Structure 1
């Protein structure tokens, strides 16, 4: 049975660590969500550490400027880990070498200091994808031809952001996970770094232990996120409780005619991917 709390405050007696998704929960890439930020601030101040856990394909130190620019107060969290942090260890294991870098220029810090040389699909030793070069206008299909060449050569595809889509303002844009799906369809091998895979959770829980000064009771860790196949599945794989933020990238699919959260809508979204969540809420609030 899924619990439907009125807000995060209703769960403070059950959890003392929060691992919280970023994009779709506390901002949409254009503006922050004030009530969600306030909820995290209050938990972080009075109940336990909040560790932000994001599928951003850049090192966490490089993503801070985006949060600051969106006026997400640093009091809302105590630590921050990204898929980029997890990806760098995968890249370092393949250095020196030639990598086909798929993604925008802003993701270049992911490769800093690793001794990797950029190359095209016909000369690279492996692929690292952080996203589409022009995610405002391109889709995965624009990459089919080059990805087929790489798949035929047997190149491993490292996916730095398992998200398939993300909401930017009112628009859904394609992410690296969409290219990873296509690459597997073409017969290629994919290695994932972020949610729902273990590496990023290992980093996040290590940060929680550092902040608490000792071991963390996993039964008292709450994951918060809006992605069924990333956040909810990741929490389930790690045997951690999840508060599913049912709007986010799913929009009004879990809402009833009255605009309120509909339990049957939530159940349908989760059942479609054969996952479960302990709790669900429309938007994160206190």
Structure 2
């Protein structure tokens, strides 16, 4: 049986142990509708102590529009030093298709910046050489609704580049499916799926470089803390990269963990155990 986790009252209990934070965004600092004031305050206070903050997000678009979205949600720029997104990693993966046709799945125009300057044609699957998934087409969709379309992709042996490995995300008071859930379906059908973002190493390596630039010297991974709300992406990614984790229980796992009631540290430890994450503590919401 896994040992119960350390109990902390806020990020302030951990701040002195870490020189930099790699923080998830959606579910930690906002819920897609509004920012979490206590999270923004916590990161501001951490930076006042000299710590550096790099946002690491599975948002399937480049960093620039994400920063604009954070501005609109009240996540102020004094809460972080830099940001790296799954969209940044995805652009590197799809650059090999320059001058060729790809089939886009996701909101039709929201992710236009993902393709800027890459000389790609967005077509139907009949002539495409790859499928690029940013999200499901609408927030009400489920992965199973795409099975018939996926059968055509599979018949043509199209690789899928999944720009958002998240399966689900908190959106206001709802939980909605993300691109990673469609990637899981396609992989289960026998399709080839290439994932960008967390928990895969390239996005962590890029975030780590940004943290070192912010600090101005090489960092010891023992002095770096990941913050996240997903076992599959944040906990697994932190474990594989070799950094500690502060787990946020009050997002996609809130109901099963009774995050805002009487959470059981043993239940949280059991949920996290398969990831093998080194857990520094847990909080329902990030706070100082």
TM range (shorter): over 0.9
Q: Which residue of structure 2 aligns with residue 59 of structure 1?
A: 62
CA distance in 2, matches of 1:233, 1:251: 18
CA distance in 1, matches of 2:223, 2:96: 34
Q: Choose 18-27 or 89-98, whichever is displaced more.
A: 89-98
Match of 2:125 among 116, 121, 138: 121
Q: Deviations over 1:31-75 (max 9, x none)?
A: 111111100011122231100111000001111111111111111
Match of 1:281 among 280, 283, 286: 283
Give matches, 1:99-118, under 5 Å. 99-104=102-107, 105-118=109-122
Secondary structure of 1:172 counterpart? strand
Secondary structure of 1:253 counterpart? helix
TM-score where L is the length of structure 1: 0.95
Q: Which residue of structure 2 aligns with residue 91 of structure 1?
A: 94
Structure showing greater relative contact order (alpha-carbon pairs closer than 8 Å, 6 or more residues apart): 2
Tell me, yes or no, if the aligned pair for 1:162 and 1:195 is still in contact at 8 Å: yes
Give matches, 1:1-286, under 5 Å. 1=3, 2-104=5-107, 105-135=109-139, 137-255=140-258, 259-271=261-273, 273-278=274-279, 279-286=281-288
CA distance in 1, matches of 2:92, 2:67: 20
CA distance in 2, matches of 1:33, 1:62: 19
TM-score where L is the length of structure 2: 0.95
Tell me, yes or no, if the aligned pair for 1:253 and 1:265 is still in contact at 8 Å: no
Secondary structure of 2:97 counterpart? coil
CA-based RMSD of the aligned residues comes to 1.4
The CA deviation at 1:274 is 4.4
The CA deviation at 1:93 is 2.1
Tell me, yes or no, if the aligned pair for 1:184 and 1:190 is still in contact at 8 Å: yes
CA distance in 2, matches of 1:47, 1:10: 15
Q: Which runs of 4 or more aligned residues in structure 1 lie more than 2 Å from their structure 2 counterparts after TM superposition?
A: 273-277
